[in-house]
Amino acid sequence: MFSRAIFLNNKSFNNTYIINRSLKCITNSLYISKRVFRPYVNYDNWISLQKRNQSSLSNSQNIKYVDLSKFPAENIRNFSIIAHVDHGKSTLADRLLELTGTISSNHSHQQVLDKLNVERERGITVKAQAYKDYLLNLIDTPGHVDFNYEVSRSLVACQGTILLVDASQGIQAQTVANFFLAFNEGLTIIPVINKIDLPAAEPDRVINQIESTFELDTSDISLISAKSGIGVDKILPTVIEKIPPPSGNVNKPLKAFLFDSWYDTYVGVVCLMEIVDGKLQKGDKIMSAYSEKMYEVIDIGIMHPEQFTTGYLHAGQVGYVICSMKVAAEAHVGDTFYHIKNPVDPLPGFEPAKSMVFAGVFPIDTNEFNRLDESITKLTLNDASVSLQRETSMALGQGWRIGFLGTLHMDVFKQRLEEPTVPYRIIYRDGTSKLIRNPTEFPEPMELQNKLSELQEPIILATIILPEEYMGSIIDLCGSRRGEQLEYTYMDESRVIMKYSIPLAEIVTDFHDELKSRSSGYASFDYEDMGYQTSDIVKMNVLINKRPIDALATILHRSQVANVGREWTKKLSEVIPKQLYEVIIQTTIGGKVIARETIPAMRKNVTAKCYGGDVTRNIELPQKAFYDFLSKGSGNSKKK
């Protein structure tokens, strides 16, 4: 397994692995392709796509000229499509763009928007379409729960949304989550049932679900097949009729709302903004309400579907803005921009991005550090929501601790990372608190005793939708992950929605896979942040001949200590080769030994000598033993 390589920035780094929790679990291999290297670059920006696939995109003659002055606010509709994964959002978007002539109906285009599925998970784009006398801005939203905040911000830029539901699958967990995000933003929600061409389609059943779950009016619901085009022509007239125009005032001071950005190698950071009030034009000097940094607008226009310069955007319009922003990290989703001489109150709801899942990354060959460092730094340049910290481990040398918004976000960086960490919170008696993302930051026993008030861990609210016959098995699963059932309701005669509160640490690994396998793929899952909750968490140390191995320390719930402790000592005893002296492996909590294994010495006489003196002096735990230990799946041991 050590022969595999990862590729960052298209360069090969042999023997480089991504390792969770500093060292507890090494994955089989890490393959970061060039494509994943820019994970959240928005490839719906077709300039990027053209570079990748010239033949299918050489239709620039199809781009129509758009004169923005012809579209007063009442003729603008800003809308989005929200759906569970695979319910047909991209196919419908393609179809709508074809209908308006924004892209050709040439089949080579089909699913162009979907070619980079991983990247698309977070892709938020605006594709402006001129349709009759209307300018329709289709604002694409990320499809995954990790980006709930990003979804909610991109919905802020819309006045309405199409809630797309697959006619054969019905309402799924992300349909529910996305519905409530749109509902909470006060958007007009237009339900649409897709895939009616499928033999398994049950539109009547899905209509019932939509009525009972969301209480939406379905009297004139559109039944469509985005794939074949059936019924799609009715959608845009419904959008124009039902969704209100934006209500901004062009005469008020500028208020521009940033809801997405990406990094373009040629032009730097491209921001997507909605002009809530006022007018923004090329050459204007603007300021971020969050960072108070100043920028000058270099280019501005709409996505049609490529960047199409208009020189200005006014109230109600949505488009791209290129200003003198150097790195994506300066573009904060939800931030408000104003003219430097005319500050305004920022729009409510802004939250700086917060990482919830952390992974340690170390090169096996330390000579690769600089090259890997360069590539990882570039990665964070492109993705404002990745956080990066240098980390040094005694066992592994220099590496990085990379923070992600959630598990999918991390998956883009790394296809499968077995056991990432979550941030825990320490509350001190004096009322102060601290977040810890790394077991090395966990307070020492003395500090715990003298200063600590409580320890807390992040909790999520899980929404699981499943056929009733799998309830027992999923209830068992949630129970084994310290989940607490909050409610369950029947969506129709055979499908159930269950709500659970579960510690985030319990779902970041294989929860989703396990849910799928226990329900034969029928259960769907979505989650939202529920904040922190008091928890009996402890730090477990691993000692080799009495010396703690920092990279193997872990934070876990007290209920898991006995099992994990025993399993780890056993696994380590299997992978550490015999030495000239006896090797003692222990797992401890606050000095108390949980489990112990002994590897006998190769030769008795040497053992006696070493063991009698400084037991730590001669220990040279080979790195390979660590990797073997980790690759044996230590990370999953908690779950067994």
Ligand X SMILES: Nc1nc2c(ncn2[C@@H]2O[C@H](COP(=O)(O)OP(=O)(O)OP(=O)(O)O)[C@@H](O)[C@H]2O)c(=O)[nH]1
Binding site, annotated residues for GTP: 83-90, 140-144, 194-197
Judging by DSSP bridges, how do beta strands 255-264 and 452-467 pair with one another?
Answer: unpaired
Q: Where are the beta strands (DSSP E) in 250-380?
A: 255-264, 268-277, 279-281, 285-288, 294-303, 307-309, 312-314, 318-323, 336-339, 357-363
- State which of residues 49, 193, 226, 328 lies at the interface with ligand X (CB under 6 A): 226
Structure tokens at 532: 């922190």
Q: Which stretch binds ligand X (CB under 6 A): 85-93, 179-187, 532-540, 544-552?
A: 85-93
Question: Does 492 contact ligand X by CB under 6 A?
Answer: no
**Candidate ranges 222-230, 302-310, 388-396, 570-578; the one touching ligand X (CB under 6 A):** 222-230
C-alpha 164, offset from chain centre = 21
Please state the closest distance from residue 147 (CB atom) to ligand X, in A. Answer: 12
The reply on whether position 275 binds ligand X by CB under 6 A is no
Residue 308 CA to residue 301 CA, distance in Å, equals 5
Does position 153 bind ligand X by CB under 6 A?
no
120 binds ligand X (CB under 6 A): yes
Residues annotated in a binding site: 83-90, 140-144, 194-197
Residue choice 5, 73, 114, 529 for contact with ligand X (CB under 6 A): 114
DSSP states along 411-430: HHHSS--S--B--EEEEETT
Question: Using an 8 Å Cβ cutoff, are 159 and 243 in contact?
Answer: yes
- Mask: binding to ligand X, 123-152, rule CB under 6 A, as x and -? --------------------x---------
**Is residue 441 within 8 Å of 426, Cβ to Cβ?**
no
Query: Does the footprint of ligand X cover residue 122 (CB under 6 A)?
Result: no
Give yes or no for residue 202 binding ligand X (CB under 6 A): no
Is 288 near ligand X (CB under 6 A)? no
Confirm if 549 and 619 have CB atoms less than 8 A apart.
no
How far CA 568 is from CA of 394, 488, 599, 619, 626, in Å, comes to: 19, 37, 14, 19, 11
Over the window 175 to 194, marking each residue x when it contacts ligand X by CB under 6 A and - when it does not, the resulting string is -------------------x
82 lines the binding site for ligand X (CB under 6 A): no
The piece of 46-54, 221-229, 570-578, 617-625 that touches ligand X (CB under 6 A) is 221-229
* Helix (H) or strand (E) run with residue 489 in it: strand 484-490
- Decide: is 83 part of the binding site for ligand X (CB under 6 A): yes
The C-alpha angle 314, 43, 361, rounded to 5 degrees, equals 120
If one asks whether residue 198 binds ligand X (CB under 6 A), the answer comes out as: yes
Q: Where are the alpha helices (DSSP H) in 431-496?
A: 445-451, 471-480
Residue among 225, 288, 310, 456 that touches ligand X (CB under 6 A):
225
- Residues with Cβ within 8 Å of 528's Cβ and at least 6 positions away in sequence, in order, are 145, 148, 177, 460, 461, 463
Map residues 86-105 to x or -, x wherever contact with ligand X holds by CB under 6 A. Answer: xxxxxx--------------
Give the residue with the Cβ less far from ligand X, 85 or 298. 85
What one-letter code names the amino acid at 493?
Answer: E
Binding of ligand X by 227 (CB under 6 A) = yes
Residues that bind ligand X (CB under 6 A): 83, 85-91, 114, 117, 120, 143, 194-195, 197-198, 225-227
